[in-house]
Structure 1
């Protein structure tokens, strides 16, 4: 597309990062998203090792089927870190695609093994764990990235720039939604491997949809509106499938931000008939911006008193920060795989900058880092605290 310089897979760093994965094997859906994201540009990562499954035979069979050498398939993450450290070509970054309750110990072990980390969300169960890992990562000189996989949609950066430039006036309201109906069937809690642990408090943590879904949308809102920070939240959560209690499958959250901005979030796995959509609407004093992930190639710009405008992905009139991650050109549809690829590429660039000691470049990078992960933990814990204490306002600090 004339006027837009697109990504085409050429290298952005000197060489691909030597990459391994913990979890993300045959029985889960998320592993393929990680591999799609990392390997979309084969100049950013090279998959060399894996501890893909707690069943080692299944790990080996799966790993060989996706092209990993058998001698670099491992029964567990501890063995992988130990053995890879002995190799001159050992992995230097690891992705953690395992259930929530394992994230903290694997991340800590990876950092102590000298590895950069890319971890599933929510990062950990406690803010204190996040702060501990942040300190450890700083001591080790390593990056911890979080796979908020929807945050790589380019038009989110267009929203960010338009809000920063005052194109909607003063921000008044932040409207957020992430709902689907695939949790209506209670039988899935017993049948689907990925669902079983998500509704088990010992493995998922203190929430179901607040952690599994809303952390994505919350991070996207912080990406779009970084100048507005949550001051307090009020949460009301429900377990419409009673067997899930005390975990919620539906929740409403009200937010107060700095500068008088208000917001709300609806998150649900029991929105019957809904086909997994995220919605962000930022309302200003002069105009509003609206983005839906089911139509990620369009951004709606509504100026009060004027006809609505639809901004299309990949067009020269968009900001350079948005078009920097254009892949297919405006005539062609992009989707979630492209978003994951953008997230992984941004983390690779951050790792490369960290390896080179370029702290100034790191400060300018916009990607889901350890701080975003800690904010996600705080979001979950504060929402749960509010709901479990009579739906009261609680401080976000």
Structure 2
């Protein structure tokens, strides 16, 4: 159980790029990183508007002299300090991730990056090589994977509880963009613009989340080929607001993905169902503390977070006893804790022996989006992965 005791000798000196006032995800980054004494927020370039960013930084307790106008100034000025930052979180629009991540790695900093890492596989591979050459950790915030029942699902598959894995059904299908709300909401507008969002909207924005859940739960999840169809149902949109993907895996299993922003009435709609030769499991992120477990020929059952019958690996990140609900902030805190431990080990010349959404996961997401777009834009043909 995690009970607030320090894991590291000292917290990692940390900065944020983006995530200022009005950010959709800035607060959950800060709350999660600071929760377990793993990181210390000492600097930042919080906003594209320098004055607004400095005002925000001061309001959350950052030294005014370390509230910088942009990431380049942040890196240059921090490099002059004996107590310079060791890690940075990138919470800016998609189109900026590659250049900032590359600059951070070149400056010798560990990185936590919002997905996607970049838009092109070549860029992702470059970042992978750079991080490995410098011995630096890059974490990608596939935040839902920090929920404890994801680890339980992984252990059930490792222990053979489901038998041979045959089918994986994934979806992240909400209804929030069912109308052209981007015309009135600046926080949404960039997601529909290929200049800022990249070659895809829902495939990249929501589809990569359950994709990584599948990769985390199923250790041998490797795609052989895929077929994708995508469409913008709301007029004048340049990028898709709905997509379907079919994948054949190298193991012989098949997987499907439904990514959508026009699923009317659905608040979130992220689910993953894994079907084996003996049993099936299903996880829904709106009820993250439960995992459905259905054995053929037996009554359906629901496994609960924190219960003594779970595998030890799934109980390791309990923050409160069974019966109390944990949420997305807890999941992100678990991931940030793993990021910090991995970074601390890297600082000592060691490698983490546990899974987390790392730079390889980020690169995989970039490749998957690229292949889906390639398939869809050629008329939904099969593409070799």
TM-score range, shorter chain: over 0.9
* TM-score normalised over the length of structure 1: 0.96
User: Cα distance, 1:319 vs. partner?
Assistant: 1.1
- Give the aligned CA root-mean-square deviation in angstroms: 0.9
Match of 2:185 in 1: 192
Report the Cα offset of residue 203 of structure 1. Answer: 0.7
Structure 1 runs of 4+ with >4 Å offset: none
Provide the C-alpha distance between the structure 2 equivalents of 1:243 and 1:349, rounded to a whole number of angstroms.
46
Q: Distance in 1 between matches of 2:69 and 2:266?
A: 39
Instruction: Note the residue ranges of structure 1 that are not aligned, 5 or more in a row.
Output: 1-5
Cα drift, residue 65 of structure 1: 1.1
Helix, strand or coil at the partner of 1:167: coil
The answer to whether the Cα contact below 8 Å between 2:42 and 2:85 also exists between their aligned partners in 1 is yes
Give yes or no for contact 1:28–1:193 (8 Å, CA) kept in 2: no
Matches of 1:61 and 1:185, distance apart in 2 = 34
Out of 138, 149, 168, the position equivalent to 1:144 is: 138
Does residue 1:178 correspond to 2:172, yes or no? Answer: yes
Superposition map of 1:188-337 within 5 A: 188-245=181-238, 247-337=239-329
Contact 2:214 2:221 survives alignment (8 Å): no
1:59 matched to 2:53? The reply is yes
Confirm whether residue 382 of structure 1 aligns to residue 374 of structure 2. Answer: no
Give CA-to-partner distance per residue, 1:266-302, whole Å, 9 cap, x none: 1100001100121010001111001001001111110
Q: Deviations over 1:26-61 (max 9, x none)?
A: 1221111211211121x1001110101010111011
2:112 alignment partner in structure 1: 118
Deviation track 1:88-140 (CA, whole Å, cap 9, x = no partner) reads 11110000000111011101111111111110001110111111111111222
- 5+ unaligned residues in a row in structure 2: which ranges? none
Which range moves more in the overlay, 138-147 or 298-307? 138-147
1:22 aligns with 2:17: yes
Q: CA deviation at 1:194?
A: 2.0
Structure 2 residue 124 is the aligned partner of structure 1 residue 130: yes
Aligned to 2:100: 106
Which residue matches 1:3? Answer: none
- Secondary structure of 1:291's counterpart equals strand
Q: What SS does structure 2 have at the residue aligned with 1:259?
A: coil
2: distance between equivalents of 1:84 and 1:259? Answer: 48
Aligned length: 385
Contact 1:20–1:91 at 8 Å: present in 2 too?
yes
Cα deviation, residue 185, structure 1: 2.3
